[in-house]
Structure formats: structure tokens, C-alpha cells
Structure 1
Amino acid sequence: MLSGKTILVLGAQGLIGQAVVQHINEKKGRVIAADVTSDKAASNDVITEACDITSEAEVEHLLNQYPDIDGIVNCAYPRNSQYGTDALEVSSSSFNENVALQLGSCFNLLKYAAKHFKSQQKPLSVVLLSSVYGVKAPDFSIYEGTSMTMPVEYAAVKSGLIHLAKYFAKYINDSNFRVNCLSPGGIENGQPEAFLKAYKSKTLGHGMLSAKDICGSIAFLLSDEANYINGTNLTIDDGLTL
């Protein structure tokens, strides 16, 4: 599906990023795996780069290094140390910082991706990771009995990403520049059993997803099979939003 394509993956060392890199590799794509630090040796199929997505200069420099890229996946998840505080305890400065770190960095990425496309005039597909909580209000009942919550910044950012994708797709107004969102349900990552059980009861039976569960859809959006799918939001949630 991705044979012959070069895909830039940002946040490549995270839970989802690692799964995406592996999946693209399995689909015969060439990967540029970028994260804040780069401590892995490059191979024929995976090139590692250091890039802080919150740095406008670093994002611009990275894209300028690779004029031949065919796709970009943003798995980066920058946040400050107060992230995840109860909504009524979040300071405005912390809220603003997290929105800037996450939504602001995606804006910079899309801006330079659009400039990259206009200068190279080569088809480019960008995939952003939103969330079901960018589509619907949180179900706070599933967090009862745990120390977890659904961060208010998360909802603001993920809903903003969906519209940002639509904005840039329409602004560039070219079928060869595609920007789409993927909105997964919860990704399992060591959450308490009580939460996993409560979450599963809200789905059609599978419950939490693994990072691997969303990689096929990301690969599809990057591929030529998804030509003319533009500015859309694909939800993968085992029925959570039904």
C-alpha cells in the first residue's frame, strides 16, 4: 500500500508513534522517524531525526531536509507538568500553554507542510491524530473510582484539530494536498482495571484499542487508495460514539 512512499512520522518514539513506524515499514514505506531526541541508528527503511514539534524553526528545517516526502503523520503529544489536572483546578496559564503546545504545534506543522507542498508541487497527505473526545463530550462516569480524568485541554485541542485540518485542506484548495484526521477511542496503556471494564461497557464489546488497531487506517489515509478523501475525520472507536 505504501511501497515507494516516504512518510514522516512525528512523535515516533511514543506509544502510537512506534506502532505507526512499524506498520509503515511493514507496508514497504520508507520512514523518517522524528522525535524530540533521536538515539536510534538509521536503517535503509527508517531514518531517525531529532525534532521538537513545538519549535517552528525545527519543523521548518526538518521539512526542508526532505523535499521528497509523500506523507506526514503527527503522533506527537507535547504537554506541561500540570496536564491532566481537574478542570476546576487548571490555571488559565497552564490551559493556554497546553493548547499552544499541542494545537499550536499542529498549526505550525500544517503551515510548513502547506508551504512544502506549494514549493515542491508533489502530492502530500497529512494525517493528524484527534480523538473521539474531539467529537463528543466526555463520559465522566467511566472515570469514577479512579484517579483519572479527561483533561479539559485535551477536548479543546482535539476538537480544534478537526477543524484545523478542514481549514488547511480548503485553504490550499488542491486535490493533491490532503489533510485528514483520525479520531480513535481510548488506547490501552496500563489503565486501572475498573476503568477498562467501565469503558468496555460503553462499546460494542472490544473496549479499549491497542496502538496497532489504528495503524491500518492511518496507512489507508496516506495511500493512493484514499485519493480525494480530504478534510475528513475518520472515527475508530468500536461504537463508543454511537
Structure 2
Amino acid sequence: MRSIASMMNMGGKVAVITGGAGHLGHAMACALAELGCDICLVDFNRPSLEHAAANLANKFSIRVETLVVDLESEAERKEVAPQVERLFGRADVLINNAGFVGDSRLTGWVAPFEDQEISTWRRAIEVNLTAAFHLCQTMSPLLRTNGTGSIINISSIYGVVGPDLSLYAGTAMGNPAAYAASKGGLIQATRWLSTVLAPDVRVNCISPGGIARNQPVEFSERYISRTPMRRMGTEEDFKGAVAYFASDLSAWVTGENLMVDGGWTTW
């Protein structure tokens, strides 16, 4: 019988992480790097990507590569698998972590339902759902090669439950319909892919709850009061879930959606 340590050992394996320059992507990369996994970070922000890669390389004795990719571009997405194969010759884990969250310049996003724009809806669906599907499709030949591939999709509590808009009252925050629809679609895509890609590739999903990122105090207090664990999440809270799904610790687990939300969706 294999030891837990051997099941967690990811030495010689390669993980491709989209949104790798972000807070959550970096935490996931650190988790797998600690297990000995080589890392390919995918993001559209070159300076942030290079900073994240340098940080990983300084902390861990692993190989780190970066790919600058706009996930809204079908043409650029098509180049990810060939470039990963050229750089590493293999891929064992794909984490679809990149998410369309918008910014203050984006119209029709954080807005009343009647003012949410179709053009913005399409952009969110493209990044959060279509890009994930496309990368699963194009990366699957590489992931199948060794018979132990793992895809981890990052959804959200709002792919499972509806929003309480009173949480956002008095703030510039909101909860766009396209975000919820795309994240809900990603959970069902996970289930679909888990049967289609089995037995060579396992496909699972992680649905995070709210992560503390200097949100307005009134929002944070309302959110925490509705969370059984009485706090918001931190990036560190997701390292164990990613290590579990990426490694052989979950070798007989596929099609699952793990809520990492402090109990938010239990009541």
C-alpha cells in the first residue's frame, strides 16, 4: 500500500495554471510546487506573470515557465497546448482558474439587472466558461498521455446559489448575472468532462466562497455574519483542496465540486 507521502509526491509532473499571476493562482502554484511539481503560469499581464514566476523560482526547486495569453482570444488559446508541449514535453494538471471579474472602466457589469450589457455578458462567458472548455479540449491529448491527468476547474459559490444583493448595499460592489451563469456552467461542464475524459483524466471543481481582499468594511461584516466559520477566506485555504485534486490523493475521485466556503452554502 502506498504511503500518503508518495501519493502526494508530484515530482516530474507539470501543472498549467491559468490566471497564474493572480492571488489565488499563485497560492495554487505554491501548493503544487511544494509537492515538487513544475509549473506553467498562464496570464495576460506580463509584468505580474514574471513577478509571480520569479517568486516561485526563488522559493522552490522546480522549473517555472510563463505564457502570456489573452483567454478571450480563441487563436491565442489554441497555442497553449503546443507551447506547453514544446517547453515541458508533457502536462499532468490543468487548472482553469482565470476569471473575468471586470474593472471600474467596464460598463454593464456591476449594474442593476436591467442595465447589464449583452456585450459584457459575452466577454464573461468567453473567459469563465468557453476558455475553460477550449483549454480542456486542446490540452486533453497531453493530459491523457500518462493516464493520470487531472483537470481542476475553479467555479464559485455563485455557480451554486443565488446572491443576496443586500450584502452589497452602500458599496460599489455587485453580483453580475453573467458571473453566476458562467460559473454554474463550469460546474456542469466538470461533470460532463469527468465521464467523457475518464479513465485517463480526472475532472473536478473547486467552488470558493468570499476571499478577503480589502473589501469595504460593511460588506465584510455582513458576509462574515452569514458564514458559519465567521471569517472570510484566504488564499491559503485553497492549497489543500488543490493539492488533493491534483495529486494521487484523489486518484479515484472525479466529477466532484468541492465547496471551500467556510460553510456559506450549507444554510
Same fold by TM-score, threshold 0.5 exceeded? yes
> 2: CA distance between counterparts of 1:16 and 1:98?
18
1:3 aligns to 2:21 (yes or no): no
> 2: CA distance between counterparts of 1:178 and 1:52?
26
The 5-angstrom pairing of residues 1-242 of structure 1 reads 1-4=8-11, 5-39=13-47, 40=50, 43=57, 44-65=62-83, 66=85, 67-78=89-100, 81-82=106-107, 83-118=109-144, 120-172=145-197, 174-242=198-266
Change (3 A) 1:115 1:143: same
Q: Which has the higher helix share?
A: 2
Residue segments in structure 1 that go unaligned for 5+ positions in a row = none
Task: Tell me if structure 1 keeps the 8 A contact 2:18–2:97.
Answer: yes
> 1: CA distance between counterparts of 2:189 and 2:113?
24
TM-score by length of 1: 0.90
Task: Tell me if structure 2 keeps the 8 A contact 1:72–1:125.
Answer: yes
Deviation at 1:205, TM superposition (A): 3.3
Deviation at 1:223, TM superposition (A): 0.5
After superposing on structure 2, the runs of 4+ consecutive aligned residues of structure 1 that deviate more than 6 Å are none
Deviation at 1:213, TM superposition (A): 0.9
Q: Considering only aligned residues, what root-mean-square deviation do their CA atoms show, in Å?
A: 1.9
Q: SS of the counterpart of 2:121?
A: helix
Residue segments in structure 2 that go unaligned for 5+ positions in a row = 1-7
Change (3 A) 1:205 1:69: same
Count of aligned positions = 240
Task: Tell me if structure 2 keeps the 8 A contact 1:12–1:33.
Answer: yes
TM-score by length of 2: 0.83
* CA shift digits 1:98-156 (9 cap, x unpaired): 212321111111111224345x3542101111011111111222222322111111110
Deviation at 1:188, TM superposition (A): 1.2
Task: Tell me if structure 2 keeps the 8 A contact 1:204–1:238.
Answer: yes
Deviation at 1:13, TM superposition (A): 0.6
> 2: CA distance between counterparts of 1:96 and 1:60?
19
Task: Tell me if structure 1 keeps the 8 A contact 2:92–2:149.
Answer: yes
Letter in 2 for 1:20: M
Change (3 A) 1:22 1:177: same
Q: SS of the counterpart of 2:174?
A: coil
Q: SS of the counterpart of 1:241?
A: helix
State the match for 2:5 in structure 1: none
* CA shift digits 1:77-102 (9 cap, x unpaired): 23552332332211223222321232
Deviation at 1:218, TM superposition (A): 0.9
Task: Tell me if structure 2 keeps the 8 A contact 1:19–1:212.
Answer: yes
